[in-house]
Amino acid sequence: MIEIEDRVFTALADATRRRLLTRLAQSSPKTATQLAREFPITRQGIMKHLDLLAHAGLVQVQMKGREKRYVFNPESLQAASAWIETIDKQWDERLQRLKSLVEDDNV
Amino acid sequence: MEAVVIERSIVVTADRERVWRAITTPEHLAKWFEPIRFERLAVGEALTFGWGGAGSIALVEPMDRFGFHWQIAPPHPAQTLVVFALETVPEGTRITVTEQGFEALPDEVRQARFKDNTQGWEKELGELIAYLQAGSYD
């Protein structure tokens, strides 16, 4: 359960990458050069972050001529989202059982 | 560093004493949660779970909060912290459970995930995912 989403979680553990991804979710495709204008880091720094996001499948790379364009890939979030939902759901079920117990039984 | 990952709550029509007993005695825990064995309700007390996992009591504040560590992914030894907090509300008692410490994962994963020492990113991650999946950015 944990291993599957490692790369997604690793990619999202960094605040800059989260902002980059949010920016791409708002508007993509974008090139590293375009993103470097919007963020206070160098194009090289942007590239490193984009590589990690691409490795996790969070963004996809499109080639246009010699330039790479990055596109947000929402499908990649499903596994991480499912992981969180699973834990949420387990607790909801337990709390529901606890509610039945304290409301109905002699505790 | 502790990053809140999961937070769920429920309101029950029962007083705090009753809820407190339900969340802190092995007899009741077995009915709604898991079979958990322990001798004393005291911080540091070892816990043994029915499925063989291990843990320990982390927090005992009578009628207010009860917390314990338990293995997140046995047989891996990594543990998360679960805390139940009780609050009196007009209808009875609000029970809020948080589970955190998912950073207690294998080193290579944890280092990559937490090198920027961002607090609360996992909660933020949940919000980010919800936001991104809601499609409101279109």
Written as one string, the DSSP assignment of B1-49 is ---EEEEEEEEESS-HHHHHHHHH-HHHHHHHS--EE-S--STT-EEEE
pLDDT digits over A5-44, tens only? 667 777 877 778 888 998 998 888 999 999 999 999 999 9
Q: Which residue of A has its CA nearest to B134?
A: A74
Which residue of chain B is at minimal alpha-carbon distance from A8?
B113
Q: Taking the CB of residue B131, how many other CB atoms lie within 10 A of it?
A: 13
Class of domain A3-104: mainly alpha
Residue whose C-alpha is closest to residue B134's, from A17, A77, A83? A77
- pTM of structure: 0.63
Interchain proximity B105–A22, CB inside 8 Å: no
CA distance readout (Å), B58 to A87, B7, B42? 21, 18, 8
Contacts of B116 in chain A (CB under 8 A): 13-15
**Contact yes or no for A84 and B5 at CB 8 A:** yes
Number of Cβ pairs closer than 8 Å across A and B? 110
More confident residue, B29 or A75: B29
- pLDDT the model gives residue A48: 95
Q: Is A2 on the interface with B (CB under 8 A)?
A: yes
Q: ipTM surpassing 0.95, yes or no?
A: no
Whether domain B4-134 has CATH 3.30.530.20: the reply is: yes
| Beta pairing, strands B46-49 & B54-61 | antiparallel
What pLDDT does A76 receive?
79
Weakly modelled stretches of chain B, pLDDT under 50: 1-4, 107-121, 136-138
pLDDT at B112: 37
Give me chain A's average pLDDT, please.
Answer: 85
The answer to whether B132 contacts A80, with C-beta atoms less than 8 Å apart, is no
CB contact under 8 A, B132 and A13: no
Percent of chain A at pLDDT > 90 equals 48
Give the start-to-end residue ranges of the domains of chain A: 3-104
Residue A78, Ramachandran bin (φ over 0: left; ψ between -120 and 50: alpha; else beta): alpha
pLDDT of amino acid A4: 41
Of B12, B133, B135, the CB nearest to A81: B133
For B54, the token pair is 């291990």
Q: What angle do CA A102, A105, A106 make, to 5 degrees?
A: 95
Q: Residue A87 pLDDT more than 90? A: no
- How many distinct helices (H) and strands (E) make up chain A? 5, 3
